[in-house]
Amino acid sequence: MRQIDEKLEQIDRDLAAMYGRKVPAPHGDAVGEMIHIILTQNTSDANSDRTFAALRAAYSTWEQLAEANVDDVEQAIRMGGLARIKAARILEALARLRAERGAITLVGIERLPKMEAFEQLTEIDGVGPKTAACVLLFALGVPVFPVDTHVHRVANRLGLVRTKSPAATQAALMPVVPEEITYQLHMNMVEHGRRTCKAARPRCERCLLASYCLAAQAADAERNADRVADSTGGAAVAAAAMEYLASLARFGVKPGLERTAALLEWMRHPERRMAHIHVAGTNGKGSTAVMIERVLRQAGYRTGLYTSPHLQRYTERIRVCGEEISAARFAELIHEVKPLVARAAADPGVGEPTEFEVATAACFSYFAERNVDVAVVEVGLGGRYDATNLVSPIACVITHVGMDHMDRLGNTLGEIAADKSGIIKPGVPVVTSPQEPEAAEVIAAAAAAAGAPLVRVEQLAGPPAASAQSPGLSAAGARVPFELIDVGVDSTRVRVDLTSMPRGKAVELGCGLIGVHQAANCATAVAALELVSDAFPVSDAELTAGIALARNAGRFEIVQTEPYIIVLDGAHNPDGAQALAATMGAVIDRERPRVMLLGLSRDKNLDEMVGILAPHADLVIATAAAHTRSGARDPGEIVAAMAAVGVPGRSVPAEEAVAAARAAVEEIGARSLVVTGSLYLVGQLRAEFVSPAAAEGSE
Ligand code: SF4
C-alpha cells in the first residue's frame, strides 16, 4: 500500500474515533444539491439551509425557478447574503443545463466515469470543483472528494498537501483518497476543522492526530526552542525573578485581600476576562482541581489551572491547556508586577503584597493573555482571606476539611470550615465533598446565608433524597452519592449518581488518580462540572476520557511497578496520611516487606502522623525535607517515634535519602517503597525517581 493511502486511512480511523462513523446517504436531487452549494458561499451552513428552504418555498420546481426574473430570485434568497451574485449564478447554471441536456436535470451523470462526470459539471458556469464534487458525493453517491476551507486547512496542517487554495488541495487529493473512505473522511475532516483544528487556535492537546501532524510537531519544536532559550539566555532573568519572589516570602501569609485587590485593580482586572471555578479544602483540592480542568480541556475549552504548592518548579503552579508557563514568561510577568508591588508598599492603605499574592496576580494576567475560557483556581491557604478569593466564580468547591494550619485557620474543625466557607459567594452554587458533621454544618450554614445552592457529595448507597429526584439543582441543593468500586495501580473505579444533576443518570468512571480518597475527589469534580454544564457542557465521552487522563504528580504517584513498586505521595497532615494509609491498605500492603522514606515538617503532630503511617511500613528511612515553611522535623525524632511502635529505622541526610532507601529495599528484599510525609520532600526527591521527560510531562 502506498504511503499516502496508509496515512489517509490512519487519519480516517482517528477522525472516526473522535467524531464517529459516517455512512453515505445520497438523496438523489443533484440539481438541488448544486443550487444548495451555490447558496453556501460566504455564509454559515444554517443560513444557507434556511435560504435554500426559502427558495424551495418560492418555486415549486426547478423549471419554474429557471423561468424566474433575477430580481425575484435575489429577493427570495436575500437572507443568504451576496444575493445578486448567487441569483445570477443559479439562473446561469440552470440555463446551461437546459441548453446542454435539453432539460433541467443531471439524471444519468452518475453512470459516467467519475472524472468525466466531474469535468462535465465543472463546465457549468458557477459550478466549481467543490460544488461538482458535492453534487456527485452527496446527491448521487459517486465517491469524489470535495474540499472546503476546513478540509484544505486540516490537510495542509497534517502535511497531506502543501497548497495555497482549496481548489489546489482538491486537485491533489481527489485522485488519491480511497473511494471507500471518501465520504467519511470528508465529513470528519470538516467536523475536525470546525470543532478542533480551528483556524485561529487549533486544539492540538485534544487531537488524536497530534502524534503525526506536521503543524503540531512544528509547534512542539518551537516550544522546545523557547525552553532551551529559557534555560540558557533567559536563565538569569528567571533566576532574578524567583529571587525577587522569594524575597517577598518574608512577609509570609498576611490576612486580608486589599493588597491583591489593589494589584488586580492596577492591572485592569485580568481575572475578569474568564470564568472561574474556585476550589478550597484541606486535602484533595489539588486533585479535584486537576480533574475538573482535565475534563474541561478534553471537551475543547481553553483552560487555566492555578495550583499550589509546586513540587519541583514554581512554574508548575500555572498552566494553560495543561502546559506549564515558561520560566521566561513567568519572569517577565513578575517583572511587570514589580512596580505595582512598590506602589502598594508605599501606600499605607495597602501594604507590601506577599509572594503568593504577586504570583496570583501574575497568574491571572497570564490566563488573560492566553485567552483562557475557564480557570480552575485552587485556594492557597484557607479561603476567606486567600489571594484567590477575589474571583467571581461560576461554582465553588470545598473538598474534605481536616485539621491543618490551625495556627492560621482555627483550632476546631468548625473554625477551619468557616474560613474555607469564605469562598462561598451569594447565589453561586457550591459543591462539598463528604465532611465530618461539624464541618458539614458550618458549610451548609454558610451556603444558606449566601443563598448559594449546595450540592453534597456523599459516600452513600441508596437513591438520592426526595428533594433532588429530578434533574436540575433546586435552591435547597442536591445530593450526589458515589461508590468506590475498586482501586488498583492503574485506576480508581468510581460510580457517581448524577440523577439529581443535569446529566440525570449514574456514570461509572475510571479515574487516573490512584487512591481510596480519590473516589470522593472524583465525585466532587464531576458534581462541580455538572454545576457549570450550562456554560461549559461536557459529553459523556469527554467526561470519561478527562477523568481517566487526569494526573497529579506527587499524589499517590506510582513511578515504578517493577522490580518493586515506588509510590510518591506528599501526604503532610493527618488527613492526608489517613488517605494514604487507606490506599496503601488497598494497593500496597500486599507488596511486603515495605520500606517507607519519611520526612515531616516540624509543625506536624509527630505521634499522630507516626500512628497513622507505622502500620504500613516494615522499615523506615527518615530524612529532613529542606524547604518546609516551618522547618524539617529532626529525622532522629521520627526514627525514635517509629521504634516506639515497633517499626525499625534509621535517619539519613536528605542528599543520601534515595540511595539509602534503595539500599534498604535491597537489604530486606522489599517489594514496595513509599516516599511520603511532605510535599517538599517529594518535590525535592522526585527527580531522582522520575525521568526528566516524564517529570516535564506530568500534569
Ligand atoms: S494536531 Fe492540531 S494542527 Fe494537527 S490536526 Fe490536530 S488540531 Fe489540527
Averaged pLDDT in 10-residue chunks for the chain of 699 residues: 75 88 90 90 81 91 90 89 86 87 83 90 84 93 94 93 90 93 96 90 82 81 61 68 78 79 95 96 93 95 93 91 92 91 89 92 95 95 90 96 70 89 95 94 95 92 40 61 91 94 94 93 97 94 93 90 91 87 86 90 87 94 72 89 94 89 92 91 85 48
Q: Dihedral sign, CA of 681, 683, 687, 691?
A: positive
Tell whether ligand 1 has an atom less than 6 A from the beta carbon of residue 395: no
Q: What is the pLDDT of residue 475?
A: 42
Residue 273 CA to ligand 1 center (angstroms) comes to 26
Summarize pLDDT for 391-406 with one digit per residue, the tens: 999 999 999 998 766 6
Delimiting residues of CATH 3.40.1190.10 domain(s) in the chain: 273-325+371-549
Q: What is the pLDDT of residue 696?
A: 43
Residue 145 CA to ligand 1 center (angstroms) comes to 21
Other CB atoms within 10 A of residue 654 CB: 16
Residue 70 CA to ligand 1 center (angstroms) comes to 43
Tell whether ligand 1 has an atom less than 6 A from the beta carbon of residue 158: yes
**Domain covering 3-215: architecture:** Orthogonal Bundle (1.10)
Cα–Cα distance measured from residue 34 to residue 143, given in angstroms and rounded to the nearest whole number? 16
3-state secondary structure of 511: strand
Rounded to the nearest angstrom, the gap between the alpha carbon of residue 475 and the centroid of all alpha carbons in its chain is 29
Helical (H) or strand (E) element with 408: helix 406-409
Tell whether ligand 1 has an atom less than 6 A from the beta carbon of residue 253: no
Q: Could you identify the residue written with the cell 434533574?
A: 471
Query: Is 3.90.190.20 the CATH number for 557-697?
Result: yes
Q: What is the pLDDT of residue 522?
A: 97
Q: Which three cell numbers stand for residue 493?
A: 473505579
Delimiting residues of CATH 1.10.340.30 domain(s) in the chain: 3-215
Helix axes 83-101, 30-40, angle to 10 degrees: 150
Residue 319 CA to ligand 1 center (angstroms) comes to 20
Tell whether ligand 1 has an atom less than 6 A from the beta carbon of residue 208: no
Long-range contacts of residues 237-241, Cβ cutoff 8 Å, at least 24 apart? 237/328, 237/331, 237/332, 237/335, 238/327, 238/328, 238/330, 238/331, 240/331, 241/330, 241/331, 241/332, 241/334, 241/335
Cβ–Cβ under 8 Å, residues 531 and 455: yes
Cα–Cα distance measured from residue 517 to residue 281, given in angstroms and rounded to the nearest whole number? 14
Delimiting residues of CATH 3.90.190.20 domain(s) in the chain: 557-697
For residues 296-319, one letter each, b for 16 or more C-beta atoms within 10 angstroms of the residue's C-beta and e for the rest, the string is bbbbbbbbbbbbbbbbbebbbbbb
> For strand 649-651 and strand 619-622, is the pairing parallel, antiparallel, or unpaired?
parallel
φ/ψ of 568, rounded to 5, equals -110, 125
Quick one: 273-325+371-549 is in which CATH superfamily?
Mur-like, catalytic domain (3.40.1190.10)
Q: Is 67 left (phi over 0), alpha (psi -120 to 50) or beta?
A: alpha
Tell whether ligand 1 has an atom less than 6 A from the beta carbon of residue 157: yes
Closest ligand 1 atom to residue 207 Cα is: 6
Q: What is the pLDDT of residue 204?
A: 83
Q: What is the pLDDT of residue 474?
A: 45
The residue whose CA is least distant from atom 8 of ligand 1 is 197
**What is the best residue among 10, 14, 157, 201 to mutate for testing ligand 1's pocket, by most ligand atoms within 8 Å of CB?**
157
> For strand 492-497 and strand 506-511, is the pairing parallel, antiparallel, or unpaired?
antiparallel
Tell whether ligand 1 has an atom less than 6 A from the beta carbon of residue 321: no
